[in-house]
Structure 1
């Protein structure tokens, strides 16, 4: 029939393409290098119920007291590892975001759970750019309730109707991540020496919620295989003490054991930290190294975190692209 077009398949509709945005999320850093900003940051961090699982009337006053006591020391450590007034973690996260954006052609944001550049701000910026498909990657390869779950809770508090939020909880066994770790070890480590894989400790009572320690051990095993390491031990750092039992043995205790047995050289890698920070550069590369050398050790090889290396950016870009 003239004047009418065929119906039911003669005309294909072009599917509207939804703009996506990638958002990296790390723990964060104070808004500036000052005692007041460090105090605010620590209070915010310790007030999080996923970090300190206690009633508000206990948690909040405790956070205020600890933040007041530790702010000056935390500031001193931050200054040690900052470049041009920018903490190393902030610098590395921003660098990763730029590199991932260049690799994928997708706008990428670096957000922090606490302190400067909060999650809400990154979501708002992505939303203002027209994104409706948001992909979030917490920069914690192994998922713990005090890190990944806290980020997830914050992220989904900002979702609006009609928006797609995709969230990756962990990537402890991702092939590109493991390969990048192994390549970095090849540059800074010595395969003839024993290796300690140091992970951030958590209370034993929280471990079962996510299988965190099992993920850490799996990462260490995969790294050992990829880097061809015969002697890798999992140790735990940053135990906060108190009445709770924390995952162990501690990195310090294992260093003591190795020294007592006559070992004078060791590699230490921190595969649970995506970017170097006070826990790796001050606690491990400075503090643990000093402890080992004072006990008679001669060689302490600290293997840096992946930071904003091209290999790290490529691994994370691949994870973002594969998110469903």
Structure 2
């Protein structure tokens, strides 16, 4: 076979110029954009939940204890019990029509709308897809799918406004693990945190204003609830806690509210370590005991509604508030596939695609 003498720059799909007749057909070079979210089980049954939780809780970015200590506890204790409780939580929010989690439904729709926006600007030079760090569609399969479509450059876009090691970093890690297995690696860029981007803050603020416009009375307090991390992460250099605090401050300033109108809390804590706080589930109860009878909760760290928002916030945390004497609880949905959120994602993507398109 004769050597290839020119780059793949001809239109359409076929053999490279000057390539031998037995050279495999290669699609025209394109740019891929891969949206990445946390993950989802394939079903709510025990086996599906155990498989998903096993992958998630075995990630050293998520639980960084020594495997010699952690894996026996995980395999023999946690994964024999937790699939039942987690399966029940997922069943309470499951998209029965599509037989999938809301996170999967929403991420697919986000991907479709982002694809429409980018293709309106760049035509068929861009291919957009989505993946999950845990579960399906996997990061590996999505990256290979983009490469098969001719994507020689890929923008990897973790859907986490605030950077954290257990979210953004592990998503990036997994993408690069796939590259380690490829003969022909695409060039790849990773999208940085966008927690302070005006388009993102504007979308958050608009979602608050839209929800409150439908209420008879404004809540006494808006709680900005973020997923928690161990306090140790902050000391070790993870910027997540600081970025969450800044998101809340920028949201407050954009809304034109006072410091007492909005508070920052953290949810989903587990294990013996001290976590950043205050814990959302406890703080909403304390607010109720202080006489704050009307409460609204927003989740700025989540790009799409999931079990942590639809079940944990809108069921468990709501119950904690009402049992402590609260009267009106309003959950403000994640930005999901709102048009202003899609425009924010497009703005971030276009900026990171500079020089490629």
User: TM-score with structure 2 length normalisation?
Assistant: 0.83
The one of 113, 128, 151 equivalent to 1:108 is 128
Determine helix, strand or coil for the equivalent of 2:344. helix
In the alignment, is residue 156 of structure 1 matched against residue 179 of structure 2?
no
Q: In the TM superposition, what is the alpha-carbon distance from 1:228 to its structure 2 partner?
A: 2.5
The one of 202, 222, 227 equivalent to 2:255 is 227
Q: Which residue of 2 aligns with 1:45?
A: 56
Does the aligned pair in 1 maintain the 2:54–2:79 contact within 8 Å?
A: yes
In the alignment, is residue 199 of structure 1 matched against residue 226 of structure 2?
yes
Q: In the TM superposition, what is the alpha-carbon distance from 1:126 to its structure 2 partner?
A: 0.4
In the alignment, is residue 210 of structure 1 matched against residue 238 of structure 2?
yes
Q: Which residue of 2 aligns with 1:91?
A: 105
Q: Distance in 2 between matches of 1:115 and 1:162?
A: 23
Determine helix, strand or coil for the equivalent of 2:35. strand
Q: In the TM superposition, what is the alpha-carbon distance from 1:191 to its structure 2 partner?
A: 4.9
In the alignment, is residue 269 of structure 1 matched against residue 294 of structure 2?
no
Determine helix, strand or coil for the equivalent of 1:158. helix
- Spell out, residue by residue over 1:172-231, the C-alpha distance to the aligned partner (whole angstroms, 9 max, x if none): 111111111111101113655211110011011112432110000000111111222321
Q: Distance in 1 between matches of 2:262 and 2:348?
A: 27
Matches within 5 A, 1:222-301: 222-230=250-258, 231-242=261-272, 244-301=273-330
Q: Which residue of 2 aligns with 1:6?
A: none
Moved more, 78-87 or 17-26: 17-26
Determine helix, strand or coil for the equivalent of 1:271. coil
Cα 1:254–1:158 change in 2 (3 A) is same
- Spell out, residue by residue over 1:14-40, the C-alpha distance to the aligned partner (whole angstroms, 9 max, x if none): 988841111111110112332101101
Q: In the TM superposition, what is the alpha-carbon distance from 1:80 to its structure 2 partner?
A: 1.4
Does the aligned pair in 1 maintain the 2:147–2:186 contact within 8 Å?
A: no
In the alignment, is residue 81 of structure 1 matched against residue 97 of structure 2?
no
Determine helix, strand or coil for the equivalent of 1:63. helix
Cα 1:57–1:115 change in 2 (3 A) is same
Q: Which residue of 2 aligns with 1:69?
A: 81
How many residue pairs end up in the alignment?
311
Q: Distance in 2 between matches of 1:256 and 1:192?
A: 15
Q: Distance in 2 between matches of 1:147 and 1:26?
A: 9
- Spell out, residue by residue over 1:54-74, the C-alpha distance to the aligned partner (whole angstroms, 9 max, x if none): 222223223323122110111
Determine helix, strand or coil for the equivalent of 2:34. strand
Does the aligned pair in 1 maintain the 2:41–2:48 contact within 8 Å?
A: yes
Q: Distance in 1 between matches of 2:218 and 2:162?
A: 25
Q: Which residue of 1 aligns with 2:3?
A: none
Gaps of 5+ in 2: 1-7, 11-27, 120-125
Moved more, 226-235 or 113-122: 226-235
Aligned-residue CA RMSD (Å): 1.9
Moved more, 219-228 or 119-128: 219-228
Determine helix, strand or coil for the equivalent of 2:178. coil
User: TM-score with structure 1 length normalisation?
Assistant: 0.91
